[in-house]
Amino acid sequence: MTTTAEAAAGTRQLHDPNIRGFASDNYSGVHPEVLAALAAANDGHQVSYGEDDYTARLQELMEEHFGPGIECFPVFNGTGANVLSLQSLLPRWGAVVCASTAHINMDENGAPERIGGIKLLHVPTPDGKLTPELIDREAWGWGDEHRAQPLAVSITQTTELGTCYTPEEVRAIADHAHSKGMKLHMDGARLANAAAHLQVPLRAFTRDAGVDILSFGGTKNGLLFGEVVVALNPEAAHGLVYLRKMNMQLASKMRFMSAQFIALLEGDLWLRSASHANAMATRLRTAVDTIDGVQPTQKTESNGVFAILPAGVADRLRKSFRFYDWNEAAGEVRWMCSFDTTEEDIDAFVAAIRHELRAYGSGQSS
């Protein structure tokens, strides 16, 4: 029988590993410790569909981080986690209040509406963060049969603009939502980055702050694939075990999803990786703050930097370093750092920014 190591030795690389970029923390590879955990889980047989030793251990670890009495449901991806979470909170007539920039509103191709059957009531925000006052712009109309009933709030931690809710801000939202009979979902695609920034335990701004259900992200923090829906208040979430299957999010070989999160959570890998990504974003932000022609647009509180560049500069930069436009009309771009971003990556990128801005200022092209 061919072993895992022998099979790996026979593969060949199809890409240039020296190419680096700042487009997304999804672009990075898998953390070596996670790959090792996958290899360790690969030998022998384990019961499928979550009845395996790894998924049982994951439940224990999640309870260590978030407290007893929670329920965990590994799923394939973040969109699936968000749709599944929101479905479990709402009746068919329920609606969700979210920020206009929220991933569920902007980047999930209508999945909450089309797959989940959920109306999104989105609110413009200056920094990606909701407040009780902003929530109240759409939290109204209960009992009106002509209006989708606002019965949940969804916030993202950290936000799509790289900003971070404090535990006190989350608690204020939770208390406000609960006072109106609404439930609170948190999209935690970059939850570890928030904890690293706030320097508090994961539960401090989730369960202890009143969040009912959480989409716990792993892919953006060094995993191959997978997220976990964590019912922090199981009484608020209904039918998750059935909804996961209905939404095509039930993995047969679930041990491989769970093994990755065990590698992340059993020690401090989740925090080490997120802290490093945040530190690289801070290094980038500190550098561009000194460059004339670069206009940062948001606070750098996680692993992303948002800035406005002069016309044409971004396209020339992308010949060497890939990244995305955030608001093309305004010239705003987003630069993301990952667990494997190096200081050399940052310094080379900063040098390229300086070079292109000099070329822009002199009217030359590169």
Shared domain check, 188 and 113: yes
Shared domain check, 122 and 197: yes
**pTM of this prediction?**
0.94
- Indicate the residue among 265, 286, 305 that finishes a domain: 265
Q: Is residue 16 part of a domain?
A: yes
Low-confidence ranges of the chain (pLDDT < 50): 364-366
Model pLDDT for residues 130-165, shown as the tens digit of each residue: 999 999 999 999 999 999 999 999 999 999 999 999
Look at residues 84, 214, 86 and name the one whose alpha carbon lies nearest to residue 150. 86
Shared domain check, 165 and 286: no
Distance from C-alpha of 136 to C-alpha of 42, rounded to nearest angstrom: 50
Q: Are 342 and 364 in contact (CB under 8 A)?
A: no
Shared domain check, 274 and 261: no
Exposure letters 251-271 (e unless 16+ CB within 10 A, then b) = beebbbbbbbbbbbbbeebbb
Shared domain check, 16 and 38: no
pLDDT at position 359 is: 87
Shared domain check, 305 and 159: no
Domain carrying residue 278: 4-28+269-361
As given in the structure block, the two tokens for residue 154 are 């969804």
Q: Is residue 224 part of a domain?
A: yes
Q: Is residue 181 part of a domain?
A: yes
Look at residues 58, 107, 59 and name the one whose alpha carbon lies nearest to residue 82. 107
200 contact partners, CB below 8 Å, separation of at least 6: 167
Q: How many domains are there within the chain? A: 2
Model pLDDT for residues 91-100, shown as the tens digit of each residue: 999 999 999 9
Q: Give the strand order in the sheet containing 94-99.
A: 71-75, 227-231, 213-217, 183-188, 149-156, 94-99, 119-123
Shared domain check, 246 and 325: no
Length of the chain: 366
pLDDT at position 254 is: 98
pLDDT at position 360 is: 79
